[in-house]
Amino acid sequence: MEDIRNKKGFICDMDGVVYHGNRLLPGAREFVNWLHENNKSYLFLTNSSERSPRELRQKLLRMGLDVGEDHFYTSALATASFIASQMPGCSAYVIGAAGLINALYDQGITMNDVNPDYVVVGETSNYNYETIIRAVQLVNGGARLIGTNPDLTGPSENGIVPACRAFVSPIELATGKSAYFVGKPNPVIMRRARQLLGIDSRDLCIIGDRMDTDVIAGIESGIETVLVLSGVSQADTAEQFSYRPNHIINGLGDIVP
């Protein structure tokens, strides 16, 4: 555990690591306090695209944690930045929540349900049959299909729920086109996370509850990996993959001395 504690910077997932829905997980408060007390650099890097950094800050405040906006980076921000770099001033048809729509607006991307350059899909409670039909029509018409993240499922207070990849799959199947996913483990978002922290990969640690996003992202980025069992992973989950994390812990509290 000392290997983890001696790192200068931490990249930490949120859903299933810090909280489930609106319930703070055991050890999360102590872990954040320990980061502050030891002057550690840290970034909450989430594949969820629903909320902006400001909304994530407010969410943690309601749970009793005071974390500045600059400590959050989301797949929505990474997706908007990526699309703007590919085609400045483009337009998009968006199936997603306010966090994604606002991130796209901030990058100069306009909403378009007639002839958009992109169809962008993230998590949202407004997902329905009509939006799927329109997305299929637009992708068949030439729009490029983008997913904010490749998570098939995610943890919630009421158990496992569908996530972005599950929302994108019907569109892929109906069009025969594969989506490009920007969130973890894509190097695009990992490179930006390292830039924001300004710390060498060897001095970083990534903490998450998913082998197929958090852990593989760390392995491919040369960052020490920690799998927590407070989200979608169980004690035997790592055995199902051809790679392993450096550490497996029950929750964030295990890191605190």
The token pair that represents 189 in the structure block? 């978002």
Mapping DSSP to helix (H, G, I), strand (E, B) and coil, where does residue 241 land?
Answer: coil
Which residue of the set 13, 117, 151, 214 is catalytic? 13
Neighbours of 152 (CB within 10 A): 18
- Tokens 């306009």 locate to 110
13 is catalytic: yes
Whether the CB-CB separation of 218 and 224 falls below 8 Å is answered with yes
117 is catalytic: no
Helix axes 164-175, 129-140, angle to 10 degrees: 50
DSSP, res 109: P
Instruction: List the Cα angle 64/67/69 in 5-degree steps.
Output: 135
46: β partners: 74
How far separated are the first and last CA of the chain, in Å rounded? 9
Which residue of the set 15, 151, 209, 214 is catalytic? 15
Q: Which candidate, 212, 60, 234, 99, places its Cα nearest to that of 160? A: 234
DSSP, res 214: I
Exposed, middle or buried: residue 205 (CB in 10 Å: 0-12, 13-18, 19+)?
buried
Catalytic residues: 13, 15
